[in-house]
Amino acid sequence: MARPLTLYYAPFSRASRGLWMLEELDEPYALRLIDIRKGEQKRPEFLAINPAGKVPALRDGDRTVAESAAICAYLADRFPDAKLAPAADAPERAAYLTWLFYAASNIEPAVMARANKWDVSAYQASWGGYESVIDNIAGAVRRGPYLLGPQFTAADVILGSMVRFGVSAKLIPNRPEFTAYIAHLEARPALQRAIKIEAEYVAQLKT
């Protein structure tokens, strides 16, 4: 039986990843706006959903998933007809999981460390240093159009969101590999819809 999907969402936040993922699916969903500027993410009602006090979180009926990468992976597995993840026994599953986890656990700390001039040795840091992370992801998207080649997956929602944001914020260099990757992502109708929905929410918050 269908369960209602609700994304706890704030525009211009990491919740945009969940919105894009939901737009890639042909499933009804609702957005529940959490105004993080007003601290709604720290209220007891929301902490009962995500004790970390962060957006995004997803409700699927009575089930809750938090963390943007987990939400995207969950939705890809929950709705296999959308083909947003290789099947568990498909050969491509290995690279899919590698990039999903690599993006979620390495890119943000590497970029934060660089931007904030944290003095961490590349040997000790789990991400291994900013340059090696950038080289690694550039190598991963070089073949294109997506991480796994022709198949777009939830790993592209996560990595792609980070690369799009990182390049636009000048936290990730605008290498030709990233420009081409971003162009492929931005050609997707689902991302275009998500960007439009986000703009409408931003306009709504300003009024």
Ligand X SMILES: N[C@@H](CCC(=O)N[C@@H](CS)C(=O)NCC(=O)O)C(=O)O
Binders of ligand X in range 68-87 (CB under 6 A): 68
Q: Which helix (H) or strand (E) holds 8?
A: strand 5-9
Residue 106 lies near ligand X (rule: CB under 6 A): no
Query: What is the DSSP-derived secondary structure letter of residue 75?
Result: H
**Residue 55 binds ligand X (CB under 6 A):** yes
Nearer to ligand X, 54 or 78 (CB): 54
**Residues 6 or more apart whose Cβ sits within 8 Å of residue 44:** none
Residue 109 binds ligand X, judged by CB under 6 A: no
**Using CB under 6 A as the criterion, what x/- string covers residues 5-24 for binding ligand X?**
--------xx----------
**From the CB of residue 191, how many other CB atoms can be counted at a distance below 10 Å?**
23
Q: Tell me the number of residues near ligand X by CB under 6 A.
A: 10
- Residue 67 within binding range of ligand X, rule CB under 6 A: yes
**Buried b / exposed e along 83-99 (16+ C-beta atoms within 10 A):** ebbbeeeeeeeebbeeb
What residues make contact with ligand X under the rule CB under 6 A? Answer: 13-14, 36, 41, 53-56, 67-68
